[in-house]
Structures are given as structure tokens and as C-alpha cells.
A = this chain, B = another copy of it.
Amino acid sequence: MNENKYPLVSDSRDPRFLTLRSLQTPQGRSRTGLYVIEGIRHVVRAIEHQAPIESVFLDPSVLSNPFGQKLARRLRKRGVPGIRLSRQLYRQLTLAAQPQGIGAIVRQQWIPLANIQVAPDSFWLAVESIESPGNLGTIIRTAEAAGVTGALVLSPDCDPYVPATVRATMGLLFSQKLIRCSPHEFTNWAKSNRVAVVASSPAGLMDYRALPYRFPAVLLIGSEKRGLSDQLLEAADFVVRIPMHGDCDSINAAVTSGVLLFEMASQRKGY
């Protein structure tokens, strides 16, 4: 296999391995602006969406899938730098129960809020803060499937590039426009672009189905435990709730996002 020509790293003190390890930490990611993806699906999607792949890492001993092998050769031919890792070192870089033997370091892509064009029929997602990395990834995946134009992240603690979040996006991170801004910048942006802010809260007085959404619109989601801050609830044009049966008081944040985003997507299409 051609990918055997990548140098082998089997010492856990090797700086190339240490770089990979450091990207599992918030500090390592923010210092470098990089993150790690793992698995054939993720690498394929990254290539399809021209995500800026900086380098590749392989474990040829588990890269048995012919398509995965072809992918590794293709990356090497394109001149992407890379290393081979011993099985033991590769294992430390993945959350997968059955690692696929191919991963990459990718450059984070944040779009400055000022560069964002707001089309009249566009719709957006904004997350104030989501505690569970898996939930955040599922929310990003759901938003992409529902057709949002981009996702605004309003808290510095909320990181779409955490390994468990990346994994839960199922490779849908690369096509999503990501914007980081403060709650204050967000409300200014919405106001000056006439974007209707739709906040989701169990305390909302409006059934989410009863509201005719106007576009452009942004759905605002708060943390699983605390919901949205008062500051953001007050800045909302509408506060909607999903009516729940019996004594249920909440549903999962990703499920909430799905129910609301697909309702908005449907209304936009005119159902």
C-alpha cells in the first residue's frame, strides 16, 4: 500500500503524536485553530466539502476497508502530509468502538459575523450553550439536515470541535457555516438584519405550531439544564414551546431542535 510510505510513529513522546493528543483538549484546539476527525465517513465528507485538511493519520493494521485504503492513497497523492500510528497510539485518538484506521487534522473554520449575508428566506440556528458534546453534535447534524444557512454559537464554552461533538455530527460539520459571537453581537445582528428571533423555552406561551414563522428567522436554543438566559429570552421576538403530554416538563435538546427546525423548514416550503 502506498500509505505505508508515511513515516511510522510508535513512541507516545513523538511530537507528531503529542500534537494529535493536544487537539483533544480545549487549550490545544484554541491555540492552533485545528481539530481532529476520525473515520472514513468523516474524512470523505471533509474532502467532498473541501475542508482544509492539514494532515492525515493512519493505522494500516485496522484500515482493512478497500475504500478507506483508496482514500488514504488519494490523500497521499494529493500531497497531504501524514503519519502512520501504531495500533496503541491510534486507539488513544478515537472514541469509536471499532476504529476505522484513518483520521485527519483539519483547520477550524469560523466565519466572522460581519461577513454573513442574510438572504430573505434564510433560517439559522443559534445555541446559547449546550452541555453535552453529543447533543451539540446531534443538533448541528439536525440543523444541516433541516437546511439552516448557518449556526451561531453564543458561548465560548460551547465547542463544535470537541471530539465527541465532531463524532455526533456524522460528518455534517464541514458543510455548516459556523459563527462565534457574543449574545450582545447576536441580538444586534438579528435586529440590523431583521432576523426574527424564535426562542425555544418550556415557559413559552405560544405553541410552536400556532406561530406563522416569518423569514429570515433564527431558532435560539438554550442549555439542557438551565434553558436560555433572561438576557436572550428578552431579546426574542417569539418564545415558543412544544406542548407536552402529562407531567413531562422537557425533551432532549437535540429532539427539541429537530421538532422546531423541521417545522420552520416546512413552513418555509409552504406546507
Contact = CB atoms under 8 A, between A and B. Distances in A.
Nearest to A148: B245
Interface residues of A, number: 35
A172 B245 CA distance: 11
Given A210-B271, A271-B210, A246 B175 contact: yes
A213 interface: no
Given A145-B245, A259-B258, A262-B242, A138 B271 contact: no
Number of copies: 2
Contacts of A220: none
Contact of A251 (B48, B175, B258): B258
Interface in A252-271: 252, 254-259, 262, 265-266, 271
A121 to B, nearest CB: 13
A180 interface: no
A16 interface: no
A251 B43 CA distance: 19
A170 B175 CA distance: 33
A250 B169 CA distance: 11
Contact of A248 (B144, B207, B247, B259): B144
A142 interface: yes
